[in-house]
């Protein structure tokens, strides 16, 4: 059984918060701007790379939570599936 230390838990929480802020900022930017779909897609890809930098072993988790949010946003705004 692996038990995380308080410092590890705090670090994990810090990284989660950074990712949440980044995703929220990108979502707001995409909703409020008139970026071309190519630039919007590139921004989403950069956000994914940032997430995988913070959490290298959590690609599936990112795809389930955040990628689906971005896909819905692209579909709503740009009519992209």
Mean residue pLDDT across the chain: 94
Domain that holds residue 13: 6-78
Q: Is residue 37 domain-resident?
A: yes
Assess if residue 71 is contained within a domain.
yes
pLDDT tens for each residue of 18-30? 999 999 999 999 9
How do residues 1-20 score in pLDDT, each as one tens digit?
778 899 999 999 999 999 99
Q: How many domains, the chain?
A: 1
pTM given for the model: 0.87
Decide if 61 is inside a domain: yes
- Examine residue 63 and state whether it is found in any structural domain, yes or no: yes
Q: Which among 67, 46, 55 is positioned nearest to 17, based on CA atoms?
A: 55
Domain-embedded: residue 58 = yes
Instruction: Please check whether residue 15 lies inside any domain of the structure.
Output: yes
In-domain check, residue 67: yes
Residue 1 lies in a domain: no
């Amino acid at each position: 059984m692996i038990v995380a230390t308080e410092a590890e838990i705090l670090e994990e929480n810090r990284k989660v918060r950074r990712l949440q802020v980044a995703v929220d900022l990108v979502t707001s930017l995409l909703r409020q701007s008139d970026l071309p779909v190519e630039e919007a897609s590139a921004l989403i890809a950069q956000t994914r790379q940032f997430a995988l930098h913070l959490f290298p072993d959590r690609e599936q988790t990112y795809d389930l939570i955040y990628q689906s949010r971005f896909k819905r946003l692209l579909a709503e705004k740009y009519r992209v599936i």
